[in-house]
Amino acid sequence: MFKNVYNWIDERLDITPLWRDVADHEVPEHVNPAHHFSAFVYCFGGLTFFITVIQILSGMFLTMYYVPDILNAYASVDYLNHKVAFGGIVRGMHHFGASLVIVMMFLHTLRVFFTGSYKAPREMNWVVGMLIFFIMLGLGFTGYLLPWDNKAYFATKVGVQIAESVPYIGPYIAQFLYGGDIVGAQTLTRFFAIHVFFLPGALIAMLAAHFLMIRKQGISGPL
């Protein structure tokens, strides 16, 4: 039954090459921790992606309860954290996952740097990877404000004030982030939109580019 359905689709769309390319690509010995334990350093990229998937999934569940306005934001997080079944765990995964993504991505970057894997012909993939790094930092910064507690409020205030000190464009950046002149209702909805729509969209596009390039070029050879 399943096979018939698959064949029916495959006849029309020729989907076999798409997944066979992913399925059959070789994992060489030098990156396989089963053969050389030290090759675990090659796992950090995959783990970053794994935690990113957890972030996306837990974030999707958080938006079921979170209300992005200054009157209800804190109350909704409080309710989610303490009243909703497993809400504390889902929020905990999103909160600590944010740190874990940064750690894993940092380790992955160091692995790529110290194995010289960013060199020709993989320059573009390195640049895309760095853009992913900056997007992740942006996600961390915008997500920090959303619970709307004192820590969130004052950290964001300080952060935007630092951005404001950039010459010429600083005041414009600050106004863009604030949505006005202070951290307020506009700032919260703005950060919510950036955190939930703009940056994840950019992140997914960049990840697609990152993975396409690694499939096209293969993993870098042994040293």
Partner 1 sequence: MAHGHKSNEKVVYVGDSRVKKGAGVQIPPDYTSYPGKSEAFIPNFLLKEWMVGCVVLVGFLVWTIAEPAPLGYPADPTNASFIPMPDWYFLFLYQFLKYPYVSQDYIVLGTMGIPAVLFGGLLLAPFLDTGKERRFYRRPIASSLMFLSLIAVVYLTVISWSHYTHQLEITNTIPEHHVREEKAREAVEKGQEPPSTVKKPAAPVAIVDAKDPAMDIVKAQCIGCHATDLKGQGSFPALTGVGDKYSKEELVEIVTNGKSGGMPEFGSKLSAEEIDQLTTWLAKQKAPAK
* Residues 45-84 within binding reach of partner 1 (CB under 8 A): 46-47, 50, 54, 70-71, 74-75, 77-78, 81-82
The tally of CA atoms less than 13 A away on the side-chain side of residue 145 is: 30
Nearest approach, Cβ of residue 35 and partner 1 (Å): 6
Helix axes 150-164 and 123-145, enclosed angle (nearest 10): 130
Under rule CB under 8 A, how many of the chain's residues touch partner 1? 92
Residue recorded with tokens 């359905």: 5
Could you tell me if 183 and 153 are in contact, meaning their C-beta atoms sit under 8 angstroms apart? yes
Question: What 3-state class would DSSP assign to 167?
Answer: coil
Q: Any idea what DSSP says for residue 223?
A: -
Nearest approach, Cβ of residue 136 and partner 1 (Å): 9
Task: Give Dmax (Cα) for the chain.
Answer: 66
Interaction between residue 41 and partner 1 (CB under 8 A): no
CA 81 distance to own-chain centroid:
22
Site map 139..178 versus partner 1, x via CB under 8 A:
-xx--x--xxxxxxxxx-xxx--xx-xxx--x--------
Beta carbons within 10 angstroms of residue 23's beta carbon? 8
Residue 79: both structure tokens together:
């309710």
**Binding window for partner 1 (CB under 8 A); candidates: 3-11, 30-38, 197-205:** 30-38
Site residues (CB under 8 A) for partner 1, limited to 203-222? 215-222
Q: Any idea what DSSP says for residue 38?
A: G
Among 63, 64, 92, 204, which residue sits at the site for partner 1 (rule: CB under 8 A)? 92
Question: How far, CA to CA in Å, does 171 sit from each of 160, 179, 190, 201?
Answer: 10, 12, 17, 26
Among 42, 44, 59, 100, which residue sits at the site for partner 1 (rule: CB under 8 A)? 100
Nearest approach, Cβ of residue 55 and partner 1 (Å): 11
Nearest approach, Cβ of residue 59 and partner 1 (Å): 13
Nearest approach, Cβ of residue 153 and partner 1 (Å): 4
Site residues (CB under 8 A) for partner 1, limited to 104-143? 110, 113-123, 126-127, 130-131, 134, 137, 140-141
